[in-house]
Amino acid sequence: MMNEHWKKSTYSNGSGGECVEARAIAQGAAVRDTQYRELAELHLPCREWNALLNTLRTH
């Protein structure tokens, strides 16, 4: 399990506030929008998180 610190995407370089943060949780990863941090987190199991990362890396 990762720590509870959120990590901002390296692609979020001041592009108008369209940023995503992620952190590891016991079941996989949590993702949230930096503009609406307090509204919701999307929790992804390990398999889905890895599939998302692999897809993003190939595009």
Mean pLDDT for 5-19 is: 75
Higher pLDDT, 50 or 3: 50
Model confidence pLDDT, tens digit, residues 14-52: 656 678 899 999 999 999 988 888 899 999 999 999 999
Higher pLDDT, 17 or 3: 17
What length does the chain have? 59
pTM of the model: 0.75
